[in-house]
Amino acid sequence: MYSSNRHLFLETLILRPVVVLLCGALASVATASSLLQGTVALADTRHAVSFGERPSGSAANQKLRDWIVSELKPKGAEVSLDSFVGRTPEGPVPMANVIAKFPGSSGKAIAISGHFDTKKIAGVHFLGANDAGSSTGFLLEFAQVLSKVKHRDDIYLVFFDGEEAVGEWTDSDSCYGSRHLAAKWLADGTLSHLVALINVDMIGDKDLDVLNDANSAAALREMVQRAAAKLGYTKYFRQDPGAIDDDHRPFAEVGVNVLDLIDFDYGPNQAYWHTAMDTMDKLSAQSLQIVGDVVLEVTKELDGK
């Protein structure tokens, strides 16, 4: 992910983005949210991090991907790999998104996404507990929720590969998996059924401070603010806008309603981001629970629209 005006954005920060559709069988979001356990999401995050550095094309990345698939299949999802070759500044790199579909009956769909790769940083043992262990653990726990509830729409959980830039972040060196899937779903018609795509990234920070992303759809941002207020979580979600470039961007560019939930204020003066300090001790189950509860409430509001 990348802030379009990172230095100004970080200065502003210093001064001061899985789904359940609730329908007939589920009377309230509380019923569903009780099924989502932040402690389990944190444990899944820890297991993802145990594979070590996980840049696209690496053996560890493939082992993590295989584990994700093995965890999804028993939960009743239709699991597929979206394999492709990323054209990077360092040459071709094999990549693969993991897609878990939980079928509904309405003809509509919602996608919940996050990335599972980590950035390769020379001279740095980068484990990426928050970036992107937290999104990996979060999505796996959301799959557990989806295995237990009824929903009207198709629900896609998407684990993106290749979010991280191989070199410096540019439009062509970043978001390889999301750019590939957005183009694929545009070509095969899947995008025409999408009500929204909600992307989660860096959501495990103990000091949770979720960005109000100006590049996300205004209506979805308003839903987040309402959900946070309803659940007593307002203090964890920023009111002032700040733009971020992340895996939601390729879908926004082809007309999808998108929402990115990301805490881009990670450590003093952003000290933990893309450093060896991005480790499990910086994360909390509470933060994963808070984001999960809000995503559930937002999805409840989306249902029936």
Question: Above 70 in pLDDT, residue 5?
Answer: no
Tokens at 216, concatenated: 């996300």
Give bridge partners of residue 99 from the DSSP assignment. 80, 158
Please check whether residue 278 is in contact with residue 201, taking contact to mean a CB–CB distance below 8 angstroms. Answer: no
Q: What is the pLDDT of residue 297?
A: 85
Q: Which of 224, 71, 80, 74 is nearest to 158 (CA)?
A: 80
Over residues 127-170, the pLDDT tens digits come to 999 999 999 999 999 999 889 888 888 999 999 999 999 999 99
- Residue 176: its H or E element: helix 176-188
Tell me if residue 49 falls in helix, strand or coil: helix
Give the tens place of pLDDT for each residue, 220-261.
999 999 999 999 999 999 999 999 999 999 999 999 999 999
Predicted model pTM: 0.90
Instruction: Tell me the domains of the chain and their CATH numbers.
Output: 6-302 (3.40.630.10)
Please, are residues 145 and 20 in contact by the beta-carbon 8 Å criterion?
Answer: yes
- The pLDDT tens digits for 27-77 are 333 334 467 999 999 999 999 999 999 999 999 999 999 999 999 999 999
What is residue 106's three-state secondary structure? Answer: coil
- Give the alpha-carbon dihedral of 109, 305, 104, 246, to 10 degrees: 30
